[in-house]
Amino acid sequence: MAIEHFIAAFLCEFVKLLTGVRALWRGSLPEDRRRIYFANHRSHCDFVLIWAALPSPLRRRTRPVAGADYWLTSALRRYIINRLFRGVLVDRSAGRAQGNPVDLMGAALSAGDSLIIFPEGTRNLGDDLLPFKSGLYHLAKAHPEAELLPVWIENLGRVMPKGALLPVPLLCSLTFGAALTLADGESKDGFLQRARDALLALAPPAD
Amino acid sequence: MTLNETLRVVFGGIFAFLAIASIIGALLKFRLAPNAPHDAIDNLNARIKAWWAMILLIGGAVWIGRGGIIALFAFISLQSLREFISLTHTRRGDHRALLWSFFFFLPVQYWLIAINWYGLFSIFIPVYAFLLLPISASLGSDTTRFLERAAKVQWGLMICVYCLSHVPALLTLEIAGYEGRNALLIVFLILTTQSSDVFQYVWGKLIGKRKISVAISPSKTLEGLVGGVLTSTAVGAALWWITPFAPWQAGLIALTINIMGFFGGFVLSAIKRDRGVKDWGAMIEGHGGMLDRVDSISFSAPVFFHLVRYWWVA
């Protein structure tokens, strides 16, 4: 495990150098609590950025949720997601050979870890936010002890847009918002809308 | 005096000045707010600390020589361009144009200084980047706000790369009787422009009343502007002995670059306000980003370069 720690730390430093990432904590603090970080999704490196921006004790207990269809397709990707980042892999296909995603994520929370998830479900190529998938709601319902923390990732999608071969060294920032929990009797759609609004509120003004 | 002796005197003077400033800053902190945070004093001390770092960097580059100075300004351009493009709106179709800007136009502009090719240096970004980048962006097949996007990328390159590269380009000027001393022109330009920023800040804090434009910069006052520009014009005139200029010429040139420097900060503030931010970045504690620090030099360097080139280069 030692070598994986070393490689992961090196990767984090590299990502920080390339993106000059700044973490802005607005309404929450980097505390060791069980949390579900949910963020906008523009690039495959999104979770690395959040992971790298967390203080290292928190980082060790935070696992990204990633799509099995992408990350299990080569030995290198398998190594990166399983060994370096201890990712929770979920099957996004209709068949669900790997089990129910909410159960898999819930198991990680029950084991005391925090999660990084992208409730849009796929990388978003537009400027806006896609509607959220319902997994966030089911997870919040099954794990009321976990805090949901919105994280707005700014610029990473411009550093390395989908299909690009080389990154542009732009500066990225992460804005962590105030924690959300599911209210008593709140409907699924109402909660997902509230979570999406909380994330959008962290975005810089559109020009 | 030889170049090295002159540099020792100049940098010795700056170090002494900064040492006194550091002591005053520490005393103020000790007397007024020993254990509690104090916005104004902490900001002052952060600025002084950043000044130490910047002067040591510039001193180190001058000590290394031509390569060091070119590398330092190439890095400053890179960081400024990152900050500029990060805050301006571009779209996916601009990705290729941005790659060209960062990995081709920026390094080649500085390489042209290194090989002393003035003819291409002076038109490379205004002509070639200006024509080639929109071609590259048009291949992205996205017409949304096309003119605006192309203009933003070109502006970023002009301000952050083209204008700033005129600082190390001072090394390429051949001035009769001043051979081998061109690094002192850079020291003159930076000291004058940056001291103007400092004195505007100081005069503004002391007697500033009439705001120049609340919409653009709430802290810039007419009193600060006049006091700062005049004080640092005096600094520039007093530095005549490190330049090829007579004292009155040094004063006039300092006045010109200070006024340009002021408007550099003013124009870039207007862009920042439009984007709803206070600073370009957070790289230098107390100063915001790199571009916050070099905005005035970006506007003063090309004018200074051409004044010297027109009147002093045979």
Domain ranges of chain B: 1-64, 72-172, 179-314
- Closest residue in chain B to residue A160, using alpha carbons only: B95
- Closest residue in chain A to residue B98, using alpha carbons only: A168
Mutate to test the interface with B, among A18, A158, A165, A166 (most CBs of B within 10 A): A158
| pLDDT mean across residues, chain A | 87
Of A125, A168, A169, Cβ closest to residue B95: A168
Type of residue at A50: I
- Residue B10: the pLDDT is 92
The answer to whether the CB of B210 falls within 8 A of the CB of B278 is no
C-beta atoms of A204 and B86 within 8 A: no
- What number is the average pLDDT over the span B74-97? 91
Query: Can you read off the two tokens belonging to residue B75?
Result: 């890095």
**Contacts of residue A22 in chain B, CB cutoff 8 Å?**
282
C-beta atoms of B276 and A205 within 8 A: yes
The answer to whether the CB of A153 falls within 8 A of the CB of A172 is yes
Of B90, B95, B103, Cβ closest to residue A164: B95
CA-nearest of A121, A118, A111, A117 to A145 is A111
pLDDT tens per residue, range B215-269: 888 888 999 999 999 999 999 999 999 999 999 999 999 999 999 999 999 999 9
The residue ranges of DSSP E strands in chain B, in sequence order, are 211-213, 217-221
- Residue B79: the pLDDT is 94
- Which has the higher per-residue pLDDT, B34 or B196? B196
Of A125, A168, A171, Cβ closest to residue B99: A168
The answer to whether the CB of A113 falls within 8 A of the CB of A61 is yes
C-beta atoms of B86 and A155 within 8 A: yes
Decide which of 1.20.58.1910, 3.30.70.3340, 3.40.50.300, 3.40.1130.10 is the CATH code for A2-200. 3.40.1130.10
- What number is the average pLDDT over the span B93-118? 95
Exposure string over B130-159, b if 16+ CB within 10 A, otherwise e: beebbebbeebeeeeebeebbebbbebbbb
Q: Quick check: A95 pLDDT over 90?
A: no
- What number is the average pLDDT over the span B15-27? 93
Beta bridge partners of A38: A117, A150
Calculate how close chain A gets to B83, using CA atoms only, in Å: 7
- Closest residue in chain A to residue B85, using alpha carbons only: A170
The answer to whether the CB of B99 falls within 8 A of the CB of A166 is yes
Of B90, B102, B283, Cβ closest to residue A158: B90
Q: Give B302's pLDDT tier (boundaries 50, 70, 90).
A: very high
